[in-house]
Chains A and B, each alone.
Chain A
Amino acid sequence: MIDPERRSVKWHGARIGKYGPWIPAAFLLAFLLLPLIALVSKGALGDAIPNALATPVVRQALILSLATSFATIVLAVAFGSPLAYLLARRDFKGKEIVDTLVDLPLVLPPVVAGVALLMAFGRAGLLGPAFDFAGLRVGFSTVAVVLAQTFVATPFFVRSARAGFASVDRTLENASRTLGVSPSRTFIRITLPLAAPALLAGIAMAWARALGEFGATIMFAGNLAGRTRTLPLAILTSMEEDLDEALAISLILLAVSFVLLVIFRLAGSWGKFADAAR
């Protein structure tokens, strides 16, 4: 028996089921993409970028951003890798607490992080007298920029590196040891190469976060041209005088972020490739 009405209802239902999710998804995609399109179309016009790059203040900010974020990554890798390894491979008392502590900067508003850093390392902070005594001044210096970035960006690296170390099959490390290779050489020849995609992804994410750091930097390091004014701070400064310059700097940051995102995705697919090999 054919019931025409019933059939049409069914047909409608199937169509809604098939295409339904696309409608809200398309709205979201448009919402995410539109500002970027606007930024590119407004900012890329004319020679805003070359002009901006010709401005000493912008060049200074770019160099400062690259230098401080690079220093941040070096610190994150140097101190974050051992912690990530411990979290992935060892059981110790208070591991959960350490784990939570590592994640804390991810949820902490950056401005709060900046205030907290100031209270710890600033002149009036906990370690202020000690630093004063040693003749060091951390607050409102380039060092403060690096510390602010390290504080907010390192957890991204640690989380990814931890997952990377944890994903390396221990039977591989055991096999290496029974083949006469010491634990430290095993780490270099087996663990590190196999965890490398995750480490790289972690570096890309932490780097992106460090480059975009704004709140903690402005609170803890201030906005001093040539010393603490990184690209995000330079955008804020330019917005008040020269919109085109702000747009140009934004585009520069966008380009760098995009490159990092591509690295992140590539590292991710490289990781899948290595996994499939097992």
Chain B
Amino acid sequence: MLHVDIELNIGDFSLNVEFQCGRELISLFGYSGSGKSLTLEAIAGLRKPDRGQIAIDGRTVFDSTEGINVPAHERGIGYLIQDGALFPHLTAAKNIAYGLQGLNRRAREARVHELLDLLELSGFGGRYPRTLSGGQKQRVALARALAPKPQTLLLDEPFAALDSTTSETLRRELYKIQDELQLTIIFVTHDLSEAISLSEKIAVYDDGAILQLGTNADIYRRPNSRRAALLTGTANVIDGVVESRLEDGLIVRTNDLAVRTDPYPFATGDAVVLCIRPESILLLRKDRPASTASRENNVTGRVISETARGSLYRLEFRVDNPKDRLNPTVLEIELPSHVYGVMRVAEDREWTVSLRRDALHVIPAQ
């Protein structure tokens, strides 16, 4: 259990965050410079906040009002950074054993052995860091952080410098470790898909503050602000007004659209923002009737540009008959490449799309 409520100022930058974390894995997601790493440094005791409290498993390690500031080496926190920070003058085994000061030699060796096994490093104990690959180095660094059996683990973009296959394997191992040991893990990343694949809860950081803290589904489908929507890849963020309230939802009107949404606590006339992720917009097939759900919120328009992105195509879709000809509503749509091929989008540009109500999210315009 980790409780963090701190304020930390460095020059013009100000970090001001509050959150709690149980025996679970929380991701701190945001652009670089948003204060994620700084938060970890403060929790680890490597940087002193200006105000606030930090408590780990019920023990206060920092409290500005009571003048408590437990030094880093007495906090018992595992901390791992992007380049691993392995000690270059020590072998892998000695790196792992580094934090095991209290144990006798035999217990220490047993623990090192156990960790080498756990992280599939058997046979690499005698190697120096410079002779290890990037993935092996991070495994050693993770083993070293785990060796003293911390209950809290702070991971600062630990897999960001690795190739995608290696980082995928390590993510799976981390997931397994969390599952077995039930640690409190804070994972910093600037990659939303990494955050989603690892954690169940995500905190969205922006400019030194947490914009939104919630489950993956919340963060992904239900951003709480325009900024959070944009940070998490909700490319379609459209201003509108609540036109009327229905029994089962709202009708929201924007410049060029009028759509039915699920119920949200807004009154008629409220200014709102309509959010829909690019991959949630459906192109309706012309050769067969649409399903009931997809018959709602249909919009006709034209594909005006496209970008291939490996397994995906990103389309720009301009709605027909825009109110403002100079500034028409353009939706961003993401389509799997095989669908793009089967539906012959390359030749056929005129389409009807569905903004299904279960994919629409409505937030206040502020």
Chain A interfacial positions (CB closer than 8 Å to B): 169, 171-172, 174-183, 186, 189-190, 193-194, 274-278
Contact = CB atoms under 8 A, between A and B. Distances in A.
B98 to A, nearest CB: 6
15 contacts: A171-B83, A172-B85, A174-B79, A175-B79, A176-B87, A177-B72, A178-B72, A178-B73, A178-B75, A180-B73, A180-B99, A186-B73, A194-B88, A277-B128, A278-B88
Interface of B is mostly: loop
A115 B81 CA distance: 54
Nearest to A172: B85
B77 A176 contact: no
Contacts of A171: 81, 83, 85
Contact of B72 (A174, A193, A194, A274): A174
A179 B98 contact: yes
Interface in B87-130: 87-89, 98-99, 101, 128-130
B101 A274 contact: no
Contacts of B83: 171
B54 interface: no
Q: Which of B46, B73, B99, B145 has the most CB of A within 10 A?
A: B73
A209 to B, nearest CB: 28
A180 B130 contact: no
B101 A181 contact: yes
Q: Which 4 A-B pairs have the closest CB atoms?
A: A277-B88, A179-B99, A277-B130, A178-B79
Given A181-B99, A181-B101, 10 more contacts: A174-B79, A174-B85, A175-B85, A177-B71, A179-B144, A180-B76, A180-B148, A182-B73, A274-B88, A277-B129
A178 B78 CA distance: 6
Nearest to A181: B73
Nearest to A196: B89
B44 interface: yes
A55 B323 CA distance: 109
Nearest to B156: A171
Contacts of B73: 177-183, 186
Contact of B89 (A177, A182, A183, A277): A277
Contacts of A176: 87, 98
Contacts of B101: 180-181
A179 B145 CA distance: 7
Q: Which of B77, B87, B144, B147 has the most CB of A within 10 A?
A: B87
A187 to B, nearest CB: 12
Contacts of B44: 174, 178
Q: Which of A171, A172, A179 has the most CB of B within 10 A?
A: A179
B333 to A, nearest CB: 43
Interface string B289-300: 000000000000
A275 B147 CA distance: 26
Given A180-B76, A276-B130, A172 B87 contact: yes
Contact of A194 (B78, B81, B89, B129): B89
A257 B72 CA distance: 45
Contacts of B130: 276-278
B131 to A, nearest CB: 9
A190 B145 CA distance: 16
A189 B145 CA distance: 17
Contacts of B145: 178-179
B89 A274 contact: yes
Nearest to B76: A180
B71 A178 contact: no
Q: Which of A174, A180, A181, A274 has the most CB of B within 10 A?
A: A180
Contacts of B129: 277-278
A99 B10 CA distance: 27
Q: Which of B72, B129, B144, B147 has the most CB of A within 10 A?
A: B72
B179 to A, nearest CB: 23
A191 B89 CA distance: 11
Contacts of B45: 177-178
A148 B148 CA distance: 51
Contacts of B147: 179
Nearest to B144: A179
Contacts of B79: 174-175, 178
Interface string B28-40: 0000000000000
